[in-house]
Structure 1
Amino acid sequence: MGAPGLVQVTLLFTDIEGSTRLLRSVGDEAYGQLLDALGSLFRSIYAAHHGRVIDTQGDSCFAVFRNDPLDAMAAAARCQHALAGQAWPGGCEVRVRAGIHVGHFRRGPRSPDETYVGLDVHRAARLCEAGHGGQILVSDKVAQAVEGRLPPGFGLKPLGEFQLRDLSGTDRLFQLLAEGLATEFPPLRALDVRRFNLPLERSSLLGRETQLAELHDLLLRPENGLVSLVGPAGVGKTRLAIAVARKESGAFRDGVCFVALAAVSDAELVASTIVRALGLQESGGMPLEEVLIGYLRDRGLMLVLDNFEHLLDAAPLVAGLLASCSQLKILVTSRAALRLRGEHEYPVPPLSFPPAFPPAEGLPDHAAFHRYPALALFAERAEATASRFAITAGNFSAVVAICARLDGLPLAIELAAARANILSPGEMLAHLSRDERHGSLDLLTGGTRDAPERHRTLRGAIGWSYGLLHAEDQALFRLLSVFVGSFTVEAAAAIAAMMPAERSPGAQTDPGAHPGGLSRFAFLDALGWLVESNLLQCIEAPGAQKRFQMLETIREFGLEQLEAQGELDRALHCHAIHFLRIAEQGEKEAGGPRQSEWLGRLDEEHGNFRGALARLFGEGGDAPTGIRMACALWVFWFRRAYLREGSRWIQMACALCPPDVPPLRARLLTCDGSLARMLGDFPRAEKLLEEAATLWRVLGDREGLAWALSHLGLVKQWLGELDSGVELLEESLSLRLSSGDRRGIARSLFNLAVAEDFRCHYARAAELYRRTLDAQQELGDVWGTGRALGYLAKVALREGDHARARALCQQAMALSRQVADKWGVGLAQAGLGGVALAEGQHAAAAAMFSQSLLTFRDVGSRDRIAECLQDLSSLLRQAGRVEQAVQLSAAAVAAQQGGTLALWPAVRAEQEAEMRDALSILGPERFQKAWAEGGAMGVDEAVAMARELGHLL
């Protein structure tokens, strides 16, 4: 017999909210009758919608639906309607919650039934558990399965991304909307990971009750939009900020967003870092500050900007966000204040401890150590390292003296306490006292005599902890300081293997040796010892690999030690070479079947790429290596929409490119021109790409020429030279066909299809889109396949094949989400809205167009915002709201004119026809008034109006 197959079914879980309270209220007998009646009611409804009950336990019910997720949704809504009209014992209220999920199960070899066990069943049950009585929750899989084909009267409300109890990973959840059902409920009983992206706390926060209470009062005051936690390194600003944000998160309906800035080397990159932390992207020419303001303007949200002290030139960005977003609060941690109007500076004090040199009556009793946060922190961290450690009468005075010598700085205390497994408090104190006169600490404080005393104290504590390491561990610690942000074990091992090992004269070199000649196992032991010593942190990471990072102050010290040992240049070179290899491998993989994995990996290493490029392009750097890295990262910046940042690095590379290397200059010009095209700077893109094409022709490089022409043709299109653009794109395709470059062929096919579509040659565009899809699927290019499917859906919609258009959009949506292509998601959403509009489903069309509008606003694509506004205008005109349709159409024109991209000719022709129709309906005076009102709107005002009107349909 053949192997059992998999079948897809929809799972529906229900249970009664507050069942225990209900049981106590009505009694055992009446409760049993209630459950029987409820079960009978649900079974009959499920059967009418092709579903059946699989199991009941107490007040919970598990049912499956074999035909279509819409059946389960209709059944759940009908159950809620039936409950509202049911009379229950004693007049009690029965409130049922429901969760709907799609799963695949194995069909038994001897039975038509399936075995319903596995994670999908647990996920459906946890989904139900997260809701409230009267609420129907739907998983992302269900939402994708029904997208664009909800029946009239039904809708899906996106709730965000959550982690369900006892399950790994996260889920995008939706609430089913149906006529007659409640729409507003309390927050879900699940962790909202989108709204609260705060780092996991490594340990408890001790001794900050006063600060937490004071910051609570500060943040509640409307006038305090910006609160800055200031203080020396190691005083615990970040830890306090995370605790404040976690404690106050309930006061912000749209959540808390933590933005780590330690790895950002340039103030120019702060805006793009915030954009990424908020889950947005950049696309098109809209300035990033405008993208942020558009997203944050009406949101009640707290931004936590951590480690701002080296980016103070970005302070005007913070001021601009606060000036435009009235409900926004910003909490900053910095060694220096931002010096902005309205900023409330909050100095973070060190932890308190008893006087180190007490008066005659002596120290307080050792049993009262927990009253002093510095001592409590020392005890907690020491016990974590040495389980038998305790503060006693015998060691109490030494612990007090240690905390006093370390000025109550939490990081310094943690570093000292981490040695409790090898040193007693008395021995620690002796070492700290002796090392104050030791030459190693002269190195620590050399060059920083003007630093604040507490900063020097912290550096002394780091140096003391470093001095207790073996030579091999010290070498590894120094080397790890070259990483910017976080790193993997594999990256650390790779760079360590490139460093020369210390060895005695005549000793054999082990090619696999690490710093100090460590073996692989000794290397891992040393890495673990650095973590135990609090000199290195193991952090939670979304991928399968563990990642590590150093606190910025510790990293600064490590870099100084590298320089003092004469190892800095070599270590930075090894770091750059390793990440150059990663970038070049990523360039190869980014267009193939492993692109999702590799784009994610490149994202994780972005801090290291930034750090390497900054050094390579800096004074005394290695420009040739930096240029290679920038060229290799072009695809990553292009596909992950780091457009402005990528353009900035490429321009730096261009400035450093030797004039006598034409192939390199041609490549850089093509990279720069393509990014300029994506940013909508067409005059600049044209100049760059024409120069690149000329160089490629002189060099006789057919692939380079095809690459430049594939972008230049689209630039010509947007500059109004439609025929010229198509000629260039056809030449690009011809060159690639002759060379057999499969990836290049797919890209040239797609660009030519877009150009033909733009000039309304629909049959030719349809043929090219289909050829593009075949080529992208053959390559396994998920990103390109998603884009091709989205455009093919437009073809199907024009041809009147609504079912095919819907299916293509759904496929495009799934693939675009897989590779985090938000622009592709927005394209699919707009397509689904077009299908619904064509079928006369005004509510569904309004929902999809509104989602698409928000998606394109969140990626800064002004041209697509204009198209969405025009789509909604068409919808309003069909729904009889002609005056408002005129307003949105005028707003679309204003949005388009504020950018660099024009409406597509077909869209413009449709707009003109609709406006002529509207003019005949309204008359000149009313039409002109509505047009003027719409044209005066800014993008944000138009988006808000469009969404509000969409909800009314």
Structure 2
Amino acid sequence: ILCGLAIFQGGFQRNAAEHIVGASLPLLATLVSKSLVRRTESGRYDLHEVIRQYAQAHLAEDSARETAIRNRHSEYYLEKLCCREKDLKSSALRETLRELTDEIDNLRAAWVWAFEHEKFATLGDAVMGFGRLFELGGWLREGIEQIEPVVQVLRRKAENAERNLVLGKALGQQALLWFRWGKFEHAMTVFDESIDLLRPLNHPAALTHSLVYGSVILHLNGDTERAQTRLHEGFECARAAHDDWFIAYALLNQGYIASLMGRYEEGYRQMMEAIVTWRKLGDPQAIALGLNFLSPTVVHLRRYAEAEANMRESLELCEQAGNRWGMGTAYRFWGLAALAQGKLDEAESLIYKSLDVLHKLSTGWDIVLCHIYLAEIKVAQKDPGEAKLIFEEAIKMGMEIQAIPLVLDALIGLAGLHAQAGENEQSLEFAICVANHPAATQEAKSRAEKLVAELTPRLSPQQIETAQVRVRQKCFDEIIGQVELGEHARAHGNWAKR
């Protein structure tokens, strides 16, 4: 029995020892009394490392027995992961996350053993819970790396329904982790591959994940039409699978898109409906997510007290669950609410808190949006030089990840600064670009149109026509290239003092 216990990694629970090795409670008590096994304050058991290594060496002498025990170990923990997946989206989330985190070393070992012995059906059953656990735990890079060998081996195998289902699900989870890491372009490529594999299989429960999460990237990158199409398909798949959690997620994003298009009351109603569903399910992570992304709409509707109350609740939920990404997001949107009310010092402090949290977890979209808010704060603080530098950095980062709506948000902010500095032709060119770009949000378009109206009396008809022609003749990258050229020129001038 002691040799069998050596296969556990990071300790074990009594039930696992009995199921996998046949170690009854009295037998464990005997081993504890002889100091061969330790019982921790939490009720878990483990072996001293020297004893574990000694027992493992003896187990290795009987390869058939070792293989049988490791098979049972892998099956037990991967089945646990599969069975607890729904609990990771419910009121049991905190308890389940603590339990699975305690078992993380056993789960890793179980995953690796199943992969090495090509138990792909078992991995396919567990991969949804695996991805969710690594997402919630913040182990994004490790999760990607653990799934990658499975993906590579399955890609080389002959196509059939079973292979495509497991590969499609694995790719969907890997794409989610890339997405949470801020690597949108790569995540979208992986989501697309997942969808292509899963769509012909008539498996709505598996397909929902990639459709809904992939649609989020599409609308964040400005491809609203495709995002809405995929969201609708994802919503219908979620309904077919009776998956209330994903029905709510699809509704949340439909509402978010409605708000981006200027339909704020409609967007508010849809997002609130999603949050109500998540409250019924009791998932604190999802509730916090909903409250966070409802915030820009609430701020636009000038319901500032509601926005701040939502962020307080979100932070409390995130702190209880150890949800660092949610905390960073809540600080950012609370900063937006403070900015809208003219509480500039508070807004700046909150954005820096957000950046401090998010820089440790993510790259890309979250960081770019924080920079845009920070630049807007600097504008309100009448610090145009610093605001301009931050807008330019946001544009540079946004172009690197092709987050075009964010680039346009920063560009209209930059256009406003050019107008303040008397650089009206440059300001007009940027404003026209934003007003006419299909990826611009309704808010950005409205700001651009307002700025064009303000600039028109300051310029001659010839200057206006020249700006319009330049925008028509240049591609978007060329217009953005002017930002970098301007940055280089100002490094040798006194623009910030104007």
What TM-score, normalized to structure 1? 0.42
Partner residue, 1:639: 136
Instruction: Give the counterpart letter for 1:819 in structure 2.
Output: A
Aligned pair 1:780/2:278, yes or no?
A: no
- What is the rounded CA distance, in whole Å, between the counterparts of 2:8 and 2:133 in structure 1? 20
Tell me the distance in 2 between the aligned counterparts of 1:760 and 1:557: 67
Aligned pair in 2 of structure 1 residues 870, 609: CA closer, same or farther (>3 Å)? same
Distance 1:795 1:695, change over 3 A: same
Contact 1:749 1:772 in 2 (8 A): yes
Aligned pairs (5 A) from 1:508-519: 514=23, 519=24
Question: What is the match of residue 469 of structure 2?
Answer: none
For 2:412 and 2:95, how far apart are their aligned partners in 1?
Answer: 41
How far the C-alpha of 1:486 sits from its partner, in A, is 2.5
In the other structure, the counterpart of 2:480 is: none
Following the alignment from structure 1 to structure 2, what is the Cα–Cα distance between the partners of residues 934 and 848?
A: 29
**Are 1:890 and 1:935, in contact at CA under 8 Å, matched by a contact in 2?**
no
Aligned amino acid, residue 144 of structure 2: S
Superposed CA deviations along residues 114-154 of structure 1, whole A, max 9, x for unmatched, are xxxxxxxxxxxxxxxxxxxxxxxxxxxxxxxxxxxxxxxxx
- Tell me whether 1:831 sits opposite 2:333 in the alignment: yes
Match of 1:487 in 2: 12
Q: Which moved more, 1:856-865 or 1:575-584?
A: 856-865
CA drift at 1:747 = 1.9
* Structure 2 spans left out of the alignment, 5+ residues: 427-482, 493-498
Q: How many residues align?
A: 430
| 1:645-669 Cα shifts (integer Å, max 9, x gaps) | 2222223223444633143333233
Contact 2:121 2:166 (8 Å CA) reproduced: no
- Whether 1:706 and 2:208 are equivalent positions in the alignment is yes
For 1:769, what is the secondary structure of its paired residue? helix
Cα displacement (A) at 1:687: 4.1
Rg larger for: 1
Which residue, out of 157, 168, 174, partners 1:666?
A: 168
Displacement, 1:536? 4.1
Deviation at 1:782, TM superposition (A): 0.9
Q: Does the 8 Å CA contact 2:131/2:173 hold for their aligned counterparts?
A: yes
Among candidates 29, 41, 59, match of residue 562 of structure 1:
59
SS of 1:920's equivalent in the other structure is coil
1:722–1:759 CA contact under 8 A, matched in 2: no
The equivalent of 2:379 in structure 1 is 877
1:909 CA drift (Å): 5.8
The superposition leaves residues 446-471 of structure 1 with CA deviations (integer Å, 9 ceiling, x where unpaired) of xxxxxxxxxxxxxxxxxxxxxxxxxx
Distance 1:934 1:825 in 2: 36
Q: What is the CA–CA distance in structure 2 between the aligned matches of 1:923 and 1:488, rounded to whole Å?
A: 70
Report what 1:606 is aligned to.
104
Q: 1:761 to 1:919 in 2, by over 3 A?
A: farther
CA apart distance, 1:907: 3.3
Summarize deviations over 1:683-732 as a string: whole Å, max 9, x none.
Answer: 54444433433443322233333333213323433554321121111222
Q: What's the Cα RMSD here?
A: 3.1
Give the one of 274, 281, 299 matched to 1:797.
Answer: 299
Is the Cα contact below 8 Å between 2:172 and 2:194 reproduced in 1?
yes
- The 5 A counterparts of 1:224-373 are none
State how 1:471-870 maps to structure 2 within 5 Å: 475=1, 477-497=2-22, 514=23, 519-520=24-25, 522-530=26-34, 532=35, 535-539=36-40, 545-566=42-63, 567-618=65-116, 620=117, 622-657=119-154, 659-660=159-160, 661=162, 662-718=164-220, 720-737=222-239, 740-870=242-372
In the TM superposition, what whole-angstrom CA distance separates every residue of 1:853-876 from its partner, at most 9, and x where no partner exists?
Answer: 111112123322222222222212
- Cα distance in structure 1, aligned partners of 2:267 and 2:394: 25
Distance 1:571 1:583, change over 3 A: same
Rounded to whole Å, the distance in 1 between the matches of 2:491 and 2:103 is: 44
Asked whether the equivalents of residues 335 and 351 of structure 2 are also in contact (C-alpha less than 8 Å), the reply is yes
Matched, 1:908 2:405: no
Task: From the superposition, tell whether residues 678 and 830 of structure 1 become closer, same or farther in structure 2 (CA, over 3 Å).
Answer: closer
Query: Whole-Å Cα distance in 2 between the matches of residues 928 and 565 of structure 1?
Result: 67
Query: Percent identity, aligned pairs only?
Result: 19
927-936 or 786-795, which deviates more: 927-936
Q: Secondary structure at the match of 1:904?
A: helix
Distance 1:935 1:853 in 2: 26
The AA in structure 2 aligned to 1:574 is R
Aligned residue identity for 1:859: L
Distance 1:487 1:807, change over 3 A: same
Shift in CA distance, 877/665, structure 1 to aligned 2, threshold 3 Å:
closer
SS of the residue corresponding to residue 876 of structure 1 reads helix
State the Cα distance separating 1:757 from its structure 2 match. Answer: 4.2
Deviation per CA, 1:180-207, whole angstroms, max 9, x where unpaired?
Answer: xxxxxxxxxxxxxxxxxxxxxxxxxxxx
- Give the distance between the partners of 1:934 and 1:850, measured in 2 at CA: 26
Q: Secondary structure at the match of 1:858?
A: coil
For residues 908 and 768 of structure 1, the distance between their equivalents in structure 2, rounded to whole angstroms, comes to: 28
Cα shift at 1:921: 8.8
Mapped to 1, the partners of 2:130 and 2:425 lie a distance apart of 56
Question: Residue 45 of structure 2 aligns to which amino acid in structure 1?
Answer: F
Distance in 2 separating the partners of 1:637 and 1:747: 19
Task: Give the CA deviation at 1:583.
Answer: 0.6
Return the letter of the residue paired with 1:616: A
Residue 675 (structure 1) shift: 3.2
AA partner of residue 787 (structure 1): L
Instruction: Rate the CA distance shift 1:900–1:614 in 2: closer, same or farther, 3 A.
Output: farther
Report how far residue 932 of structure 1 moved: 4.2
Contact 1:867 1:903 in 2 (8 A): no
Alpha-carbon displacement from aligned partner over 1:866-909 (angstroms, at most 9, x marks no partner):
22222222212212222122222222223334445445377336
Question: How far has the Cα of 1:807 moved from its partner?
Answer: 0.8
CA distance in 1, matches of 2:401, 2:491: 14
Distance of 1:918 and 1:538 partners within structure 2: 69
Letter in structure 1 aligned against 2:172: T
Residues 821 and 537 of structure 1: CA distance in aligned 2, closer, same or farther (over 3 Å):
same
Residue 887 (structure 1) aligned with residue 389 (structure 2): yes
Cα distance in structure 2, aligned partners of 1:694 and 1:489: 43
Contact 1:681 1:900 in 2 (8 A): no
**Are the equivalent residues in 2 in contact too, given 1:891–1:934 (CA < 8 A)?**
no
Q: Contact 1:680–1:901 at 8 Å: present in 2 too?
A: no
- In structure 1, the partner of 2:472 is none
**Do the aligned partners of 1:889 and 1:934 also contact (CA within 8 Å) in 2?**
no
Letter in structure 2 aligned against 1:632:
G
Contact 1:692–1:708 (Cα < 8 Å) also in 2 = yes
Cα displacement (A) at 1:913: 4.4
Aligned-partner Cα distance in 2 for 1:708–1:818: 28
Letter of the 1:877 counterpart: V
Cα offsets for 1:595-651 (capped at 9, x unmatched): 111112211211111112222222x56444344333431221233332222222223
Q: Higher helix fraction: Structure 1 or Structure 2?
A: 2
CA distance in 1, matches of 2:229, 2:175: 19
State the distance in 2 between where 1:907 and 1:551 align. 57
In structure 2, C-alpha distance between the alignment counterparts of 1:935 and 1:760, rounded to whole Å: 38
Q: Shift in Å at residue 793 of structure 1?
A: 2.0
Comparing both chains, which one has the higher relative contact order based on Cα–Cα distances under 8 Å and sequence gaps of 6 or more?
Answer: 2
1:842 partner amino acid: L
In structure 1, distance between residues paired with 2:420 and 2:49: 61
Structure 1 residue 790 displacement after superposition: 1.1
3-state SS of 2:45 partner: strand
Q: 1:12-37 CA distances to partner (integer Å, 9 max, x unpaired)?
A: xxxxxxxxxxxxxxxxxxxxxxxxxx
Secondary structure in 2 matching 1:593 = coil
Mapped partners of 2:370, 2:202: distance in 1 = 43
